Amino acid sequence: MDNQRQFAILSAERTERGPVVNADLSQQLHEQLTERGIPHAAVQGCYMGSSERAFLCVLPDDVREHARVLGLLGQLGARYSQECILLCDSNRQACFLPVLPRGLLGSPQHLGSWREVSQAEAEREQCYTLAAGRYFVTAPALATGPARLKHENGASW
């Protein structure tokens, strides 16, 4: 897959639910993404200081299909009581999309550039993603280059 593909990151977990319930919900989300044909890879995230399993979902290039998939992700976000979805565009600019009632998505909240950092740098942040053994954060500075991640089936983007 192309390095410049847009992607979204979504979790089913919430700290207050506990590890057993969160593991079950993450498995359910994985199955729902698979059933809907949304290419995804499991990642480890840290959101507001709490570690959670999440899924990096590759978004289609086609505008209508892109909107449809984002709509599905919004519905899934609402189902799992998520506050937001992280969206990263092809220029590696990231934003939070708030999940509103009924799965609608709110206005984007720009975060900055999605970029790779060391583990030590990532762990100093309130939010980061660990994907394919590499740490990523969003920061106002421009990224030095596109990230290359691996899908569960071995394909990379």
Structure tokens at 79: 């189902």
What pLDDT band is residue 126 in, cutting at 50, 70 and 90?
Answer: confident
Of the candidates 26, 38, 104, the residue with the CA atom closest to the CA atom of residue 71: 104
pTM higher than 0.75 for the full model? Answer: yes
Residue pair 151/41 in contact by the 8 Å Cβ criterion: yes
Distance CA 73, CA 64 (A): 14
List of residues 6+ apart from 19 with CB closer than 8 A: none
- What pLDDT score does 152 carry? 40
Query: Tens of pLDDT along 100-111?
Result: 988 889 999 999
Above pLDDT 90, what percent of the chain? 76
Instruction: Please give the backbone phi and psi of residue 39, each rounded to the nearest 5 degrees, phi first.
Output: -60, 130
Residue pair 26/69 in contact by the 8 Å Cβ criterion: no
Query: Tens of pLDDT along 74-93?
Result: 999 999 999 999 999 999 99
Above pLDDT 70, what percent of the chain? 87
Distance CA 97, CA 103 (A): 11
Residue pair 149/124 in contact by the 8 Å Cβ criterion: no
Extract long-range pairs of 139-143: CB within 8 Å, 24+ residues apart.
139/112, 139/113, 139/115, 140/112, 140/113, 141/112, 141/113, 141/115, 142/113, 142/115, 143/92, 143/113, 143/114, 143/115, 143/116
Predicted confidence (pLDDT) at residue 146 exceeds the cutoff of 60:
no
Domain ranges of the chain: 7-112
Distance CA 124, CA 106 (A): 28
* Average pLDDT in the chain: 87
- What pLDDT score does 144 carry? 41
